[in-house]
Structure 1
Amino acid sequence: MASIHKDIPIDAHPDDVWAAVRDFGALHKRLVAGFVRDTRLEGDARIVTFANGTVARELLVDCDEVRRRLVYAAVSERVRQHSASVQVVADGDGRSRLIWIVDVLPHEIAPYIGAQMDQAALAMQKTLGRSAAEVRRA
């Protein structure tokens, strides 16, 4: 199984980053605006429509408020196994790091998933940094 690790610096307070991460149904508005076009909830799952037209069903596995850690699994025809965790940690004065780990099979899809995660990371930095700037101005 391929494991892909991303350590993403975010120019926003950990509480604000965690609030966006834990809002499972607002991925397209609060976390990765532009990278995800739409998200809708169906029970413990979210149906995610990405900007490239791909649709994925992601199941909520755990949302740990104390550790600021969210775990989800994706179900699709192309991917036999996809589990992910996203954890928010403090990184200095008012900044955060988002630790995102995805375990995926088959191995051959890992480069594609990694590239998608890189694009999502840029969207997170832009979306969350903009939100923090708006709060600072208010």
Structure 2
Amino acid sequence: MASIRTETTIDASPEDVWEALRAWEEPHVRLVPGFLTDTRMDGTDRIVTFFNGVTVREVLVTLDDTTRRLVWSIVDGPYSHHNGAAQVLLDADGTTRFVWTTDLLPDAAAERTKAMMEQGTATVRRTLETARSAA
């Protein structure tokens, strides 16, 4: 099983980053606009569309306000197994560290998925730093 991790430092408060991450129903607006182009809800599941047209169904596993950690699984998409987690952490200098991990099968999907995660992580940073400077 492949395990991928990306992280970035965001010049925004952990509270602001967490508020954007925990907005389960609108990541295409609050967290990664352009990387995700649409989100539709089906009960508590979300169906997201990526910039390249790929659509997947994501099931919310955990939304933990105390640890600022969100966990989800892709259940209808290109993986036989997918578990993703994102966490928001306070760095010593007052900035925020955003960490995204994914465990997936098949292993052959790891390189493509890592490239997508790196692009998504950069979009998170850019979106939230832009929002902070506009405030």
Q: TM-score of the superposition, structure 1-length normalised? A: 0.94
Say whether residues 1:134 and 2:134 are aligned partners: yes
**2:23 match:** 23
User: Could you list the per-position Cα deviations for residues 21-49 of structure 1 after superposition, in whole angstroms to 9, with x for gaps in the alignment?
Assistant: 00001100110011110111111211101
- Over 3 Å off, 4+ runs: none
Percent identity between matched residues is 42
* Displacement of 1:51: 0.7
Aligned-pair RMSD on alpha carbons? 1.1
After TM superposition, the structure 1 = structure 2 runs for residues 3-82 of structure 1, keeping only pairs within 5 Å, are 3-82=3-82
After TM superposition, the structure 1 = structure 2 runs for residues 90-109 of structure 1, keeping only pairs within 5 Å, are 90-109=90-109
SS at match of 2:62: strand
SS at match of 1:52: coil
* Displacement of 1:76: 2.8
Partners of 1:33 and 1:18 in 2: CA distance: 16
> Which consecutive unaligned segments of at least 5 residues does structure 2 have?
none
Q: TM-score of the superposition, structure 2-length normalised? A: 0.96
Tell me whether 90-99 or 29-38 shows the greater mean CA deviation: 90-99
> Which consecutive unaligned segments of at least 5 residues does structure 1 have?
none
Number of aligned residues: 135
**1:112 match:** 112
